[in-house]
Each structure stands twice: as C-alpha cells, then as structure tokens.
Amino acid sequence: MKRTFIASMAGLLLLGGAVGAAAAGTANGSVKSLTQGGQILTSKQAEEIALREINGDIRSVELKKEHGRTVFEVEIATADGRDDNEVTLDALSGKVLKVERDDDDDADERQRDRRPSQAKERTATISKKQAVAIALQDTPGQVIETDSGKHVYEIEIRNGNRDLEYKIDKYTGKIVDKEVDNADEDDEWDND
C-alpha cells in the first residue's frame, strides 16, 4: 500500500502536478512530509543520475522514505543479464547514497537462456587449443579427449592414476567445472 502510494506520488510529480500531489496526502503523511518541504528531483532526473553509476535499462524507479530521508531507488538491468542492480540516491540533492551491483555469477548463463538466438550468434573467443592449454596449466598430464559443447569445451586429462575432466567456458576461458576421478578406484569395480 505504501509503495503504491509512493509510486503514485512520483508519477504525479513527474507530470508537474505539484498542486495535485500536495492534495494527495494520506493518513501516513503528505508530499510535504516526504520532501521535508524541499524541491525533489523528478524520476527522470533520478534515472539520469543512476545511469551514470550503472549503464543499462531502467527497470523501476521508486520514491520512498528510508532512515528518515526521502530517496529514489532505481533498479537497473545491464546488457550482460545482471538485473539486480540498484542505485539509491537522495531525492532532494541527487547525491548517490548507495550502489548495489548484481555480482551473481549465473547472470551470463541466464542471459544466454533468455536470448537463445543471440547466444547462437556469439562465436567462441577461446579456441579449443587455448582451452587445452588452460586445462594443462591447471593440471599437467596427457590429454585423453576433447569435445566442444554449446558454451564450454570439455577436456579430459590423465595425470598419473587420476583422470580429470574440465569444462572451460568458450567465451571467458574460465574453468567452469573440474572433476577428479582416481583411476585405481574405478579399476576395482571393473574387476568384479
């Protein structure tokens, strides 16, 4: 209820309806109490300030009272699929109070899932030969098998009595997964 009221208030201010907004008070307070009597920024101005901090697409702009201060919370989705970014700024001065960036490692994968046609158009920036070198740098040994998946190279290396299976991201070169199998343990089961 409060969020709806606050969003409504921001919309009224955007339209320049200062008179209408002042009359839209509720039992919880009025625009005057939200703004502490000062002139607040428009949501467009808040968006512009937030986009200077995080480049992307605006998801929402919310005017609210937080810790006794009137603030805009601006949610931004970035081109790499990270959609939990938020910039909080003072609604009166425009000063940026907090910047929260989505550091979710799964964002790249979510982005590919949302836009499969774009993922198909992407070409690997890491070659299979480079992926093998990355795996061998992590664990020296003999390359047994290499395969190319949709988004990863799969590389199997034998090091002594261990077989290691790597999945290396085609676009970043990062080791996404590494499994270690002890060859001696597998042989015990094969002799039965």
Tens digits of residue pLDDT in 40-55:
999 999 999 999 998 8
Tens digits of residue pLDDT in 102-130:
776 555 555 555 555 444 456 778 888 99
User: Into how many domains does the chain fold?
Assistant: 2
- Whole-prediction pTM: 0.40
pLDDT at 182 over 90: no
Give the pLDDT mean for 141-150.
88
pLDDT at 169 over 70: yes
Residue 112 corresponds to which tokens in the numbers above? Answer: 């590919």
Instruction: Report the sign of the C-alpha dihedral through residues 29, 31, 32, 34, in that order.
Output: positive
Give the pLDDT mean for 141-153.
88
Assess if residue 96 is contained within a domain: yes
pLDDT at 98 over 50: yes
Burial-class residue 157 by CB neighbours within 10 Å (0-12, 13-18, 19+). Answer: buried
Yes or no: say if 165 and 139 are a contact pair by the CB < 8 Å rule: no
Q: Are residues 103 and 132 in the same domain?
A: no
Q: CATH number of the domain that 100 lies in?
A: 3.10.450.40
Assess if residue 134 is contained within a domain: yes
pLDDT at 27 over 80: no
